Structure 1
Amino acid sequence: MGYNWQWYRIPQYLYRLTDDGFEWGEIAVGLVKTLQLSSIAFLLALVLGLLVALLRLSGLVVGTGVAIVFLEIIRNTPLLVLLYLFYYVLGPVFGFNRYVASILCLGVFHAALISEIFRAGINAVAQGQWEAAKSIGMSTGQAYRYIVLPQSVRFMLPPMTGEVVHMVKSSAIVSVIAVAELTTIGRNIISDTYMSFEIWFTIAAVYMVVTLILSAGVSMVEKRYSTNS
């Protein structure tokens, strides 16, 4: 097709050596921003996911109903549509900027997935543990804190670490509202250089390296916390 490949220009977007010394390039900076965004959203998803799981397991009609409605709405709404709702609908109402809207969207979306991991892990703890906690006078909150949740970690940790990989990949969607992260920075570089193929191949490679590293960590966690051991 006569395309003029310019791979020799790619390293400058990863790092560069200037008169002031070593500097990270735009793609490396974008990766850091992606990891920061994903980390904050994942922490929010953990808190919301645990809350939803506890509501669903509470045995209270209202609590269970709220949890089920939340799960059904979030799981049946595409992530892109959810992002538009947070930014274009809720953003003007509550004063969210695009970065906050992105974190809330990713956190809420993954909270629905993480809540099921929490619920499965809690249900995997033997019923006898509950009975033992009640027999020594523990409240439900104390039983969760000291008995159930610590034991459920080995069931939850492998799929939970898998959600970290999913979060990093999902974060690319926030580029549609121009949040400064890896994909957005890649689009900006392309608009300046017209090196579409080189930049997108490089961005894809960066995502692949990150997810492969995280996936290797997931595999190690799964082996260590295997429920069959």
Structure 2
Amino acid sequence: MTNEAGSPPTSGTPQSIDAVPLRHPWRWVAAAVIIVLVGLFLWGAATNDAYGWSTYAEYLFNERILLGVFNTIQLTVYSMVIGIVLGVILTIMRLSSNPVLSSVAWVFLWIFRGTPVYVQLAFWGLMPTIYQNIQLGVPFGPSLLHFDLQDLSFPFALAVIGLALNEAAYMAEIVRAGITSVPEGQLEASTALGMSWGRAMRRTVLPQAMRVIIPPTGNEVISLLKTTSLVTAVPYAFDLYSIATREIAARIFEPVPLLLVAATWYLVITSILMVGQFYLERYFSRGVSRQLTSKQLEALAKAQLGSAVP
């Protein structure tokens, strides 16, 4: 029995193939065109007085801008932490066999995912007007506590609540997708070994689900950072976007450089978050590789060689 070349088949390692890579000259042409266009745009932006680069450099590290950066980070962190906790609770309710809990979770997701976040924030800003007085006490009896919301000023708390509830609806679906991606046999095997449901979720299911949960959660954090620019609907006017555009730009009548200042700080914070997301994904992806080992490649080559020989 011979192969196509007329020589007997070899039984050892398959012979290497001298592959010649394909030439792609148009790729280099396209890359050169893109580089030229980007260079022309950067040169035009650098020489255009409308960008106000001197004003940009003056306000990039301004004290008010740095205060806005700090407040924006606070809004993002507080809202995201609350959103993750509520999202996990909603996921447990959604996966529960209790129809009441499952229905309540579904209605929550339906409302907060189906309405614009700006509308939700505006609604939370009107809470002191809608509920002017809050009384706690015995039904049809004496009142124990009384709050006059119109006398209180807490726009920061209202902004955090509005952002957190909206984020919880999306985090609930992300966590649910991660948990359902783990085969049910994993949980059944853990409970068969004597683990409780909570311990099996913590030690078996969640570590595997994190590979699915982390990437979209990182995207949600970045999206929430940029969504904080909408808290003016509450109204809360001490975030980065509000200070840069509504306070400073409106005073000096130069919106373009202040928008560039805000965009620069958003890019800096987003870049840091992307680096953190990268290391988290790598940490929870330990033991999972898309590359075949040398033994697997050798076995695959032998299998292909055996199938090629009649």
Shared fold, TM over 0.5: yes
Which residues in structure 2 correspond to 1:1-229 (within 5 Å)?
6-15=52-61, 25-89=63-127, 93=131, 95=149, 97-176=154-233, 177-186=235-244, 187-222=246-281, 225-226=284-285, 229=289
Structure 1, unpaired ranges of 5+ = 16-23
Could you state the TM-score of these two structures normalised by the residue count of structure 1?
0.85
| Distance across 2 between alignment mates of 1:135 and 1:115 | 28
**Cα–Cα, structure 1 residues 67 and 53, in superposed 2: closer, same or farther, change >3 Å?**
same
Q: How many residues align?
A: 220
Q: State the Cα deviation string for residues 105-146 of structure 1 (Å, max 9, x = none).
A: 110111111111110111112211111122133332332233
Q: 2:125 is aligned with what amino acid? A: Y
What's the CA shift for 1:226? 4.9
Deviates more, 1:45-54 or 1:117-126: 117-126
**Cα–Cα, structure 1 residues 137 and 175, in superposed 2: closer, same or farther, change >3 Å?**
same
Kindly report the root-mean-square deviation, in angstroms, between the aligned alpha carbons of the 2 structures: 2.5
What's the CA shift for 1:225? 4.3
Deviates more, 1:137-146 or 1:55-64: 137-146
Of all paired residues, the percent bearing the same amino acid is 32
Q: State the Cα deviation string for residues 60-117 of structure 1 (Å, max 9, x = none).
A: 1111111100000111110011001112036763647211111011101111111111
Q: Is the Cα–Cα contact under 8 Å of residues 14 and 26 in structure 1 kept in the other structure?
A: no
Please state whether the residue corresponding to 1:145 is helix, strand or coil. helix
| Distance across 1 between alignment mates of 2:128 and 2:92 | 26
Please state whether the residue corresponding to 2:238 is helix, strand or coil. coil
Q: Is the Cα–Cα contact under 8 Å of residues 229 and 240 in structure 2 kept in the other structure?
A: yes
**Cα–Cα, structure 1 residues 226 and 147, in superposed 2: closer, same or farther, change >3 Å?**
closer
**Cα–Cα, structure 1 residues 129 and 12, in superposed 2: closer, same or farther, change >3 Å?**
same
| Distance across 2 between alignment mates of 1:71 and 1:87 | 21
| Distance across 2 between alignment mates of 1:147 and 1:224 | 16
Q: Is the Cα–Cα contact under 8 Å of residues 130 and 143 in structure 1 kept in the other structure?
A: yes
| Distance across 1 between alignment mates of 2:52 and 2:217 | 40
Q: Is the Cα–Cα contact under 8 Å of residues 52 and 256 in structure 2 kept in the other structure?
A: no
Please state whether the residue corresponding to 1:41 is helix, strand or coil. helix
| Distance across 1 between alignment mates of 2:99 and 2:180 | 19
Q: Is the Cα–Cα contact under 8 Å of residues 56 and 260 in structure 2 kept in the other structure?
A: no
Q: State the Cα deviation string for residues 139-173 of structure 1 (Å, max 9, x = none).
A: 32332233322332222112211211111011110
What's the CA shift for 1:185? 0.6
Please state whether the residue corresponding to 1:59 is helix, strand or coil. coil
Structure 2, unpaired ranges of 5+ = 1-48, 135-148, 290-310
| Distance across 2 between alignment mates of 1:88 and 1:111 | 21
What's the CA shift for 1:58? 1.4
- List 4+ stretches of structure 1 deviating above 6 A: none
What's the CA shift for 1:217? 3.9
